[in-house]
Amino acid sequence: MQKSLYFLATWGIVLMGILKSDGQVSDYPQHNRTYTSTGEAQQTSVPYASYPEVYPSFNNETIKQRLSAMTNNAVTPRFSSGVRGFINTYAIKRHESTEEMLGKRTIYFPIFEDYLRKHGLPSDLKHLPILESALKPHAVSRAGAVGLWQFMPATGKAYGLRINSSVDERKDPHRSSEAAAKFLKDLYRRYGDWALALAAYNAGPGRVNRAMKKARSKNFWRIQKYLPRETRSYVPGFIAATYIAHYHYEHGLDPVAPPYELQVTETTKVYNSISFNEISNITGVSYDVIKQLNPSYNNGVVPSSQEGNYLILPYHGIGAFIRYIHPEYREGNLNYPQGQENIQGVNYRVVETQYTVFQGDDLELIASIFKCKPAHIRAWNNLSSSQVQPGQVLKILERVPYFEKPRKLVELKAIDFKRAINVVERTTPRKQITKIDLTNTKHRKPSNPDDDKNAENYMYYSIRRGESVKDIADKFPGVSIDDILSDNNIKSARQVKSGKVLLIRTQ
């Protein structure tokens, strides 16, 4: 892809001035310290005021050790002055910008991982947009490349992206990610080496081929000097982006999480033209949020399309929108008066929950409990792999339904009774932690279900194979078979089957 690096265009070329005359590394000034070529910290006369924050120091040996611990990567991590320069920029020079950027991983990484997995590509390629666009869908390079993956117009159109006055799919997280996956896959087939494929992604295959011919080599590090200056820095930049995603906490980088409604979303397809204002009126989601989640539409309008256009909405608004565009879904208690969809249809919210991993748990199981993707859990918890350990506490953003007939606010969900006491909910905005020990709870059923709507009074229970209603009632002292059937609007105990989720009163 013949374009300039967005990262270098906006943050400056970090390699200039960091090399000594002897080729050794010399840091930018950082909190009264600099480093010798061996990485040992020494005092310097640079004023402390040059950096308002004090960030953890780091040396070359530490970086080398951490890079060597990063396994199963598309490009084998390799330390160089270029890698060090990029890390220095992420961790020191652009510290606050990096924190904001890292927070956006919860929005985009699950999408990136889906398309990389679909095309059989290494998952760590999801870090490429960190280098390309700093995870900004509206990013534009000096050469005219646009979007999270920085597509030039010709390349974008070649991979099926629409670019016109109403839509620029280079900014669409889904469309551009699929196009990027296809492009990267084609480049890897051509070169059989990810370092060369990434270089060709930046500079174009023609320049890489000429550099290979001049160097008489197919090794990126040997042909590096024959590539354009920006492309020489591209693979080191990718290594540094992957490193900073793994080790940002070691550098005092605390990701700034976006609002929940930007993190917990659903995607649907829209075939008829509809404006953001109309969508906002239908769902109750603000215009600005709709615009942030759908950056590819230039005029605040989703145009008509026979193939369908992607529309991303917060989870609390997707139900109302689906019922609006599909009236056949308005059945039973979903049959709302015309014009009230934006009020009655918003029946979900998001709460921050902590889950303690049990023996035998894996990310797929935990994700199924909380109805999210494993990629979300990895992003929320800065996990570099899908491995979890018993006793590990995971942060989960849980989608919580508002029950309407009767209205029962459910805050806690568990796969069974024993696990329910290990789920901790962090309420917002007070940020108070509430622990509910079900083993010491007395249960009661109010005469009128609407009289008691406290969130902590209910839990979900997933019926195990072979369990009867009586077996479940026996687990909850004070709860009878009739209570369970009544609270769940079930007429007969025969309708209770394994896999069904029941609402159980806990107080």
| Residues forming the active site | 132
Report the alpha-carbon distance of residue 495 to residue 56 in Å, rounded. Answer: 60
Q: Please give the Cα distance from 325 to 319 (Å, whole number).
A: 10
State how far the Cα of 375 lies from the Cα of 180, in Å rounded to an integer. Answer: 19
Give residue for tokens 């490349």.
Answer: 145
Assess contact for 203 and 197: CB atoms under 8 A. Answer: no
The DSSP bridge partners found for residue 266 are 313
On whether the CB atoms of residues 402 and 348 are closer than 8 A, the answer is yes
CA atoms within 13 A on the CB side of 35: 22
CA geometry: angle at 285 spanning 279 and 291, to 5°? 70
- Helix (H, G, I), strand (E, B), or coil: what is residue 393? strand
Q: Which amino acid is at 139?
A: A
User: How would DSSP label each residue in 29-51?
Assistant: PBTTEEE-TT--EEE--S-GGG-
Residue for token digits 């917060």?
A: 314
Q: 196: closest CA among 152, 242, 154, 234?
A: 234
- CA-nearest of 15, 86, 380 to 242 is 86
Q: Which residues pair with 41 in a beta bridge?
A: 35
- Tracing tokens 């947009």 back to the chain, one arrives at 129
The 8 Å CB, 24+ separation contacts for 147-151 are 147/171, 147/172, 147/176, 148/108, 148/173, 148/176, 148/177, 149/176, 149/177, 149/179, 149/180, 150/1, 150/3, 150/6, 151/1, 151/176, 151/179, 151/180
| Contacting residues for 448 by C-beta, under 8 A, at least 6 apart | none
Residue 78 to residue 63: CA distance in whole angstroms: 10
